[in-house]
Structures are given as C-alpha cells and as structure tokens.
Copies of this chain bind each other. A is one copy, B any other.
C-alpha cells in the first residue's frame, strides 16, 4: 500500500482551482502571544466543508466517458453534498444514499444540488450504494478511503505551507482520516519540522487509541456516535491509518463541553460558524496547551454545517 505523494497533491491543486475556494489563513489576534494562531476556514467552501476538495478531485480524475455515467456516494453528511455539488459542476448524475435518520435539512441540501437521494436503513447504506453503482455503471466515490480523495484534501496542507512557510504546528480534526492524511503528507513534504497533530472527541477517540497501539483499534459505531461532533464518527481505513502512522505526530482528545464552548469562541472571536467537528481544533488549542507543541499554529476548521436548532441551542 503506497501513500499519497506531494506531486499528486500539487496536481490536485491545479485540477481543483475552478471549483474550490483557496481559503485564506485568518490571523487570530485573540490567541496567546506565545502561540500565534491562524484559522484555515474550510467552512467557507461553497458546500460549507473541505469535502468538496476530495470529491471534486476524485470526479476530475475520472475519464470523461466514465464520469458521464454518473457517481454514487453514501453519506449523511458533508461528503454527500460535496459529491452532489461536484457532479452538478461536471454536469453528470449523482446518486446519494443516506440513512433514514438523516435530518431533512441535509436531504434538502443534497436535492438542491440536483442529486437523486435514496433513503435506506443505516445498515443497508453501503450495500445499496454498491448495488446502485453496479446497476447504473456509475462510480462510487468513497468519503476518504481513496488516494484521489486524500490528494484533494491534501491541497489544504499545500496552501498552508505556501501561505505560512514557517508554520510550526497544524491541528486537524480526525474521523476517517482522509483530511489529516492529505494535510500531513503535504506538510511533511514541504515543511518536515512542522508537527501535524490530530484532534478527536474523547467519545470517538479510536484513531488516538490506534496510533498509540500501533495498529487499528476498533470502537463500535454506537460508541463513536455519542459525540456531538457528527462529522467525526467514522473510523480510519487501512489506507488512512498508514498515512497517520507515517506522517502524524500525535492525536489529542477534547471533551464535549470543550467542543461546544469552542463553537461559541469561534463565532464571537473569529466571526465564523463552525460545526462541532470543525471546532475541535480550537477546543484543543484552548484546552490542551500542555500536550501541544509550541509555536506558530494553524487550526483547520473542517466545516460549518450545523442544523439551525443545534446552532440555537449552542448559542442560547
């Protein structure tokens, strides 16, 4: 199994340019003076999350005649919208399979991008997606377990290294590990001395446990589902775990209260709406200083898609 390379990430950056926002690094004057902080606000992407990078890149890499047959994804979250949006940009059909506990607001957002949505029981999600792909001749776009997807997410690391060449620490949320795999591959290629630190909720800290154990440690889906950070309930694959072992320096964990408080800090001090998954990095910055390396820190806020009711609850 090989890892993504910096030349693949550079090539991805060129392919992505028409569809993806080159997010700025936002300086945070409210940071601790000895740990200057910049936010990489991926919540500002057109679909509100970094997932557009990997999804669009995976579609862009398909041969045109294959792509024309359409794409399939199974996801209740940002990957669904990313694939639907990317397919719309390419003018090809998208089929999205979502579990039947998906909030209507997310189904509506996916439909708004012109995708066909299939609602199924949560256990059938993956099998139905494979069946639909087979039936239509369409290509399944996995949320993280694919080098093209990882290379797309890696463009975030490329941009960080370009915009802040003397970065010391990069904080990245960890779920299936596609985001941190790509970011870490880029950072370690371009700025080998910088530390790449993953952040997980304590309630879904399977990747942290795996990294400590040196092998994939499985938590039940039920356990991982306890966290408010609904974007961080997946688990690494063999491919992303290989990237983590090669490139990631550490994974720290944060509590549910720290995550909720970080959503508020990001809104009040940096004027951004972050979803709980994206806010974990600020929770770590504020509460895990003893465990984090010192220096110029970039926190990747992965997305900003919250249900209006959750937003109201967090700010009440």
- Given A267-B273, A311-B267: A26 and B47 interface contact (C-beta under 8 Å): no
Q: Which residues of chain A from 234 to 273 have any CB-CB distance to chain B below 8 Å in the complex?
A: 264, 267-268, 270-273
Q: Shortest Cβ distance from A169 into chain B, in angstroms? A: 20
* The residue from B24, B29, B44, B85 contacting A271, defined by CB atoms under 8 A apart: B44
Residue of B nearest to A28 (CB): B46
List, in ascending order, chain B residues with CB within 8 A of A27's CB. 21, 46
List, in ascending order, chain B residues with CB within 8 A of A1's CB. none
Q: Shortest Cβ distance from A308 into chain B, in angstroms? A: 6
Q: How far is the CA of A30 from the CA of B270 in the complex (A)?
A: 23
| A23 beta carbon closer than 8 Å to chain B | yes
Q: Which residues of chain A from 291 to 315 have any CB-CB distance to chain B below 8 Å in the complex?
A: 304-305, 308, 311-312, 315
Copy total for this chain: 2
Q: Shortest Cβ distance from A202 into chain B, in angstroms? A: 25
Q: By the criterion CB–CB under 8 Å, are A308 and B273 in contact?
A: no
Q: By the criterion CB–CB under 8 Å, are A22 and B24 in contact?
A: yes
Residue of B nearest to A23 (CB): B24
| A316 beta carbon closer than 8 Å to chain B | yes
| A43 beta carbon closer than 8 Å to chain B | yes
Q: How far is the CA of A30 from the CA of B308 in the complex (A)?
A: 16
| A70 beta carbon closer than 8 Å to chain B | no
Interface bin, chain A:
20 to 34
| A48 beta carbon closer than 8 Å to chain B | yes
Q: Shortest Cβ distance from A31 into chain B, in angstroms? A: 11
* The residue from B29, B46, B268, B312 contacting A47, defined by CB atoms under 8 A apart: B29
Q: By the criterion CB–CB under 8 Å, are A271 and B311 in contact?
A: no
Q: By the criterion CB–CB under 8 Å, are A29 and B85 in contact?
A: yes
Q: Which residues of chain A from 1 to 34 have any CB-CB distance to chain B below 8 Å in the complex?
A: 21-24, 26-27, 29-30
List, in ascending order, chain B residues with CB within 8 A of A112's CB. 30
List, in ascending order, chain B residues with CB within 8 A of A268's CB. 273, 308, 311
List, in ascending order, chain B residues with CB within 8 A of A24's CB. 21-24, 44
Q: How far is the CA of A268 from the CA of B43 in the complex (A)?
A: 11
List, in ascending order, chain B residues with CB within 8 A of A46's CB. 27, 29
Q: How far is the CA of A271 from the CA of B44 in the complex (A)?
A: 6
The winner among A27, A85, A267, A311 for most chain B CB atoms within 10 A is A267
List, in ascending order, chain B residues with CB within 8 A of A264's CB. 308
* The residue from B272, B305, B311 contacting A272, defined by CB atoms under 8 A apart: B272
Q: List 28 A-B contacts (CB under 8 A).
A: A21-B24, A21-B26, A23-B24, A24-B24, A24-B44, A26-B44, A27-B46, A29-B46, A29-B85, A29-B113, A30-B112, A41-B44, A43-B271, A44-B270, A44-B272, A264-B308, A267-B311, A268-B308, A268-B311, A271-B272, A271-B274, A271-B305, A272-B272, A272-B273, A273-B273, A312-B315, A315-B315, A316-B316
Given contacts A23-B24, A271-B305, A316-B316, 4 further A-B pairs with CB under 8 A are A21-B27, A24-B44, A41-B44, A312-B315
